[in-house]
Structure 1
Amino acid sequence: MIRHHSYRYLFYSGIVNGIGDRFSQVAVLTLLLQLTGSGVAVGAALGLRVIPYLLLSPLGGRLADRLNKKWILMLTDVFRLPFALSFLLVDTKEMVWLVFTAMFILACGEAVYQPVRKSFIASIVEKEDLVKVNGWEQLLQGVVLIAGSITGGVVAYVFGTSFAFWLNGLSFITAAVLLLALKGGTYNSHFEKEHRRRRIEWKGWMMFILAIQLVGATMDGAFNVLISVYGAETFPLGELGVGFLYGALGTGLVASFFFSSKIKSYRLPLCLALLIIEGGLHLLASRMTIFPGLWFTFVTIALTGGIMGTLLDAFLMKHTKAEEQGRVLGWMESWANVQLGLMMLSSGWFLDVYSARTLGLWGGGIGIAGGVLLLGFYFLFKKKVEAESSLDKGSLETGRDPQQKDGKEGF
């Protein structure tokens, strides 16, 4: 499929773009810790990156529904190039403001880029291949984390942060060129036939999926700040520690591709079970006293989260009407990333008062409690929907074709 489908250009471009971004992120976070010595600075920088998602992700979704998706993706890559190189000017504590400014503008481009990319995937990939392709997306993130973070940590450690910033700039140009060959983007007609369900039920399920993503974002917001602190301070390994921990996440995401591709029957309770398990793994990570154990725990966290992300994205793409895919995916990106940013920002402040291990403990607890609570709401909502439904068991009320086997597409 990668060799012959138009999606391959999105995949290759995403690999190049993501690796460059990881080179830069490892270097930037290390630079901030060196110049400021503050966990607040790291949390603020990470939090600032996702604030633009509040307004620009919905905008990106609307643009995807109206304009040429390929050119939007290419323009966002080109637009971000000069700001990616601006980190080269930062060499003193007084220049830290430029780091925050550049990260904010880069995040603006990313906030537009991501919903357009997801909308493009939904429009060129057949329904039966959505889980497979979303598994490839998790594989992409895994490769990016392994190749970008570990190599980025080594590059920054050996050659300095400036070299990593130059490579990030080059990646934007290369990614835009790869997209030139991308074709497609017209909507598949099967979406129109398969999603004639009552509006109120559809909105209910979408809100439920959003709630799952918000709980996950709350937990992951603390986790994103802890990656740098665990690697550089709790286990004092500097850039190498940060790089290897990001590499562990990449390893888990690569593994999630192989696991998710084997899943034939899935519904939202499986996603909630994975959320609860991930919360437990965060608790375990906060108690680890040896770096290899922490590394392996990070792998399993990414494995669990990668499978859950694959299934949730497949649900969204299957159950959203063609003309609304950009807007729905944009709003989902917006809310989830804003929550992620707020949690990263608050986590930075939290680290000035409490230890990293305490923050990890609380983050895992949020995932477990949120997952259990949502699981209860799921069964209540499902019971209500079934009671009000006047459709047959095999109808599109549950989001699946009557001709298909039970358990493959419903919520």
Structure 2
Amino acid sequence: MSFTTVDAVLPTSRWRDVYLTAGARAVSACGDYLAAISLALALQSAGAGGIAVSGVMLAAALPLVLLAPLTGRLADRMDSRTLLVGAGGAQAGCCVVLAYAERVDVILVFVALLACGLAVTQPTLAALLPEMVRRVDLPRASALNQTAALLGMLLAPGLAGLLVGQFGVRVPLLIDAASYLALVAAGLLLRTRRGGRRTTASTRPPGPAPVTPAAVAGIRPAAGWRLRRDPLLWTMVVAVAGTIAGVGAVNVIEVFYVRETLHASTTMFGLVSTAWILGMLIGAGLLARTARRARDDGALAQGVLVLLGLACLAVALGAVVPAAGWLLPLWLIGGVANGGLNVFSNLVLTNRVPPAERGRAFAAQGAANQGAGMFGFLVGGVLLARFAPRPLVAVTGLAGLAVVLAVTPIVLRAARRERRAGPVTGPEGAALATSVPAA
């Protein structure tokens, strides 16, 4: 089942808004990743253990999980401009304070406050993108936005290694504070807006209301959209989150594996991190066209599983390398799979969620992934206190593969059931498309 409302309103896609959003994401993503890597390097260089590094990562992830029910509703009900300007400004202020903080507890508090802002801006931007473009252009627009964010992240590891080595952690954090102003500028300049009074006026076409998953299931409209009422989408979200829970500990282990086990420099660590991001950049661009040509949402969900498995396999193979340089091609392959599965999964969600509920949907998806990542961060920090990094890298990759194998039959059954049910009939008897149109 799909929701095709924007094409009925937009004769052409609003590419100006897409490019503005992409530019804002590139700048803010560079600042975010720069700050994250700088903090990890600073803690590791100061002799902090895995618990300290995982504590910072947990502080950055916890608000995105706990606040998802609230921030998803805010993204759907409040004016997107208000949210972007307000959250971006608050994040810039918090980052300035964080740059001058010295106590670990203060650092953790302000990292968490920055994440509170991210919990607002992420679903807001994600739900805005489908309103900017016609449905046939959505894979391209999604890949473009992901590419822009990844380009920003590509610059961050090298900058982090250089700036931390020369100036310490303060300068990178001040640069991160300035990057949040890009979100404020985007909020002021974007013509596309949703939430508040203008959600229905700007996005709903004239005529009968669109068919929703609740309506198809015979549920009264008042009951609203629920993720668990869509078996295919629900199983895909669970599959991705479960895999992240299995393999996510590598994000904590990686810095110790590269720096201490493989005896690499901070520059090489930056290059290894860059390789994964570069792969994501390539994967988003290459696989966007494949996403557009997919048979239906079931095929997209199956593609997500294949790409998840490939990414986990790359991580598992990384445990046997003799030197950090060997990680570069493996991380590049894993990143390609990661970038592709992001495009696939976001397209499935957009296809299957009513426009007015997409803020909640993207917040729920983000909360599932962040919650799974938090589990990985915690496990990684605990295990590093007892075991060497190399076997832990192998365990994380194999754990992710095990989750993919376990959930694959469930996703396949959901896809088969939907195909047997056939197309959904709209209010005037016309069949609603269940596939993504080809270019």
Give the C-alpha shift of residue 402 in structure 1.
Answer: 5.2
Cα deviations across residues 168-206 of structure 1 (Å, max 9, x unaligned)? 111122431243211113325499536466238952122
Q: 1:386 to 1:250 in 2, by over 3 A?
A: closer
Give the C-alpha shift of residue 220 in structure 1.
Answer: 4.3
Q: Which residue of 1 is the match for residue 191 of structure 2?
A: 183
Identity of paired residues, percent? 17
Q: Is the 8 A contact 2:310 2:337 kept in 1?
A: yes
Q: Which residue of 2 is the match for residue 103 of structure 1?
A: 111
TM-score by length of 1: 0.89
1:158-169 to 2 correspondences below 5 Å: 158-169=166-177
Q: Say which of 141, 154, 164 aligns to 2:162.
A: 154
Q: Which residue of 2 is the match for residue 69 of structure 1?
A: 80
1:43-192 to 2 correspondences below 5 Å: 43-91=54-102, 95-185=103-193, 186-187=202-203, 189=205
Cα deviations across residues 133-188 of structure 1 (Å, max 9, x unaligned)? 22123312321221122222222223332221221111122431243211113325
One-letter code aligned to 2:216: R
How many equivalent pairs are there?
399
Q: Is the 8 A contact 1:256 1:306 kept in 2?
A: yes
Is 1:199 matched with 2:226? Answer: no
Q: Say which of 240, 248, 262 aligns to 1:213.
A: 240
Q: Is the 8 A contact 2:42 2:164 kept in 1?
A: no
Q: Say which of 312, 336, 342 aligns to 2:369.
A: 336
Q: 1:289 to 1:69 in 2, by over 3 A?
A: same
Q: Is the 8 A contact 1:248 1:296 kept in 2?
A: yes
Give the C-alpha shift of residue 276 in structure 1.
Answer: 1.4
One-letter code aligned to 1:130: L
Q: Say which of 18, 36, 42 aligns to 1:31.
A: 42
Give the C-alpha shift of residue 300 in structure 1.
Answer: 1.1
In 2: Cα distance, 1:7 partner to 1:355 partner: 45
Q: Which residue of 1 is the match for residue 223 of structure 2?
A: none
In 2: Cα distance, 1:5 partner to 1:188 partner: 21
Give the C-alpha shift of residue 27 in structure 1.
Answer: 1.4
Is 1:256 matched with 2:283? Answer: yes
In 2: Cα distance, 1:377 partner to 1:218 partner: 18
One-letter code aligned to 1:123: E
Q: 1:134 to 1:227 in 2, by over 3 A?
A: farther
In 2: Cα distance, 1:58 partner to 1:223 partner: 28
One-letter code aligned to 2:259: A
Q: 1:3 to 1:247 in 2, by over 3 A?
A: farther
Q: Say which of 11, 17, 36 aligns to 2:22.
A: 11
Q: 1:88 to 1:395 in 2, by over 3 A?
A: closer
In 2: Cα distance, 1:251 partner to 1:173 partner: 25
Q: Is the 8 A contact 2:136 2:437 kept in 1?
A: no
In 2: Cα distance, 1:54 partner to 1:223 partner: 20
Structure 1 gap ranges (5+): none
In 2: Cα distance, 1:192 partner to 1:229 partner: 54
Is 1:244 matched with 2:271? Answer: yes
Cα deviations across residues 88-143 of structure 1 (Å, max 9, x unaligned)? 3345xxx2222211111111111121111111112222211221122123312321
In 2: Cα distance, 1:218 partner to 1:202 partner: 23
TM-score by length of 2: 0.83
Q: Is the 8 A contact 1:139 1:256 kept in 2?
A: no
Range with greater deviation from structure 2 (153-162 or 341-350)? 153-162
One-letter code aligned to 1:44: G
Q: Say which of 358, 361, 386 aligns to 2:391.
A: 358
Range with greater deviation from structure 2 (222-231 or 338-347)? 222-231
Cα deviations across residues 391-411 of structure 1 (Å, max 9, x unaligned)? xx44469xxx9586x86469x
One-letter code aligned to 1:221: G
Q: 1:125 to 1:58 in 2, by over 3 A?
A: farther
Q: RMSD between aligned alpha carbons?
A: 2.7
Q: Is the 8 A contact 2:300 2:345 kept in 1?
A: no
Q: Which residue of 2 is the match for residue 346 of structure 1?
A: 379
Q: 1:188 to 1:254 in 2, by over 3 A?
A: farther
Q: 1:231 to 1:179 in 2, by over 3 A?
A: farther
In 2: Cα distance, 1:251 partner to 1:164 partner: 21
In 2: Cα distance, 1:407 partner to 1:254 partner: 25
